[in-house]
């Protein structure tokens, strides 16, 4: 996934507004307007870089007099003490933007780092690690970009990107087959074509879904033996259909490997974006002239 420039600009505008960056009284009253400084953004722990271009976006909005040297590209594995970016410019601008820059980078690097751990756990197996829509409101594209920087894959971007029939859709429609039939009829009536995924929680539901041959079947919160049974069932009922199986729900680093070894095509992990620990980053500043 490419860096989402428009989403970054929008997020930075909101972040600076809520921080009242234009009225930073502490910096305005304590730092001389002619002081010039350099700063480095460093990590205090190993991890994966993500969102480094956001530093330039923040400082462009604050005053535009700063110079940014992105020391590492997104996706780079970092060791404690590594520098992500070097910044020079008016000291008051560097200080005003510090927390906003670090807030973004700590979150995105944390997501990329956790994603990298999941991807590394199944790197030798033919399975993809997927993200979900469990992202911070307003940061969807940035969160998903960080997943891709960590080696994961982006799944459904939003409600209009693909059809995903979950338990409430299926209950309202009267069952898996009825829900799929409704979707296909209405999709055709609107002249659209897109991937269709259906969530199932039992083997009988998986059988029903396989016979209907959607693009994806989400195996929700199934224990490992049932996941393996669903994979075997696909081999029996729809071996050449192209239906892909996604394991989802309560996936952790502890059970990831066992889930992957069942033969599913993908594993979706909500915690990549809703529970990733922030990376410990700092901005270290030095005054170069007053």
Active-site residues, by number, are 99, 134, 166, 199, 220
Strand ranges, E, within the chain: 36-43, 47-48, 67-70, 77-78, 83-90, 128-130, 163-165, 196-200, 216-220, 244-248, 266-268, 281-289
Cα–Cα separations (whole angstroms), residue 280 to 80, 198, 230, 239, 246: 9, 39, 41, 47, 33
d(CA 27, CA 25): 6
Direct distance between the N- and C-terminal alpha carbons of the chain, in angstroms, rounded to an integer: 42
What DSSP letter does each residue of 83-102 carry, written as one string? Answer: EEEEEEEEHHHHHHHHHHHH
Provide DSSP, 222-234.
--HHHHHHHHHHH
If DSSP codes are grouped into helix, strand and coil, which group holds residue 65?
coil
CA-to-CA distance for 245 and 261, rounded, in angstroms? 13
- Nearest in space to 246 (alpha carbons), one of 232, 260, 225: 260
């Amino acid at each position: 996934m490419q860096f989402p420039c428009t989403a970054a600009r929008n997020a930075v505008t909101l972040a600076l507004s809520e921080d009242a960056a234009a009225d930073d009284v502490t910096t305005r009253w304590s730092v001389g307007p002619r002081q010039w400084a350099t700063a480095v953004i460093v990590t205090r722990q190993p991890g994966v870089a993500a969102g480094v271009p956001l530093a330039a976006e923040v400082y462009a909005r604050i005053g535009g007099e700063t110079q940014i040297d992105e020391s590492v590209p997104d996706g780079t594995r970092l060791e404690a003490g590594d520098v992500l970016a070097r910044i020079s410019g008016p000291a008051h601008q560097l200080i005003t933007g510090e927390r906003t820059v670090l807030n973004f980078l700590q979150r995105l690097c944390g997501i990329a780092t956790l994603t990298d751990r999941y991807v590394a756990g199944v790197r030798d197996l033919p399975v993809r690690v997927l993200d979900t829509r469990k992202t911070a409101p307003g940061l969807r594209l940035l969160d998903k970009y960080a997943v891709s920087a960590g080696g994961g894959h982006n799944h459904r971007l939003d409600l209009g990107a693909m059809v995903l029939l979950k338990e409430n859709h299926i209950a309202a429609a009267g069952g898996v087959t009825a829900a799929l039939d409704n979707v296909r009829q209405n999709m055709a009536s609107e002249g659209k074509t897109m991937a269709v995924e259906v969530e199932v929680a039992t083997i009988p539901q998986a059988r029903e879904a396989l016979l209907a041959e959607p693009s994806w079947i989400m195996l929700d919160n199934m224990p490992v033996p049932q996941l393996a049974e669903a994979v075997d069932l696909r081999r029996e009922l729809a071996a050449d259909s192209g239906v892909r199986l996604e394991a989802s729900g309560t996936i952790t680093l502890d059970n990831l490997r066992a889930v992957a070894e069942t033969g599913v095509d993908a594993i979706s992990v909500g915690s990549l974006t809703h529970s990733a620990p922030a990376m410990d980053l700092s901005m270290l500043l030095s005054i170069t002239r007053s």
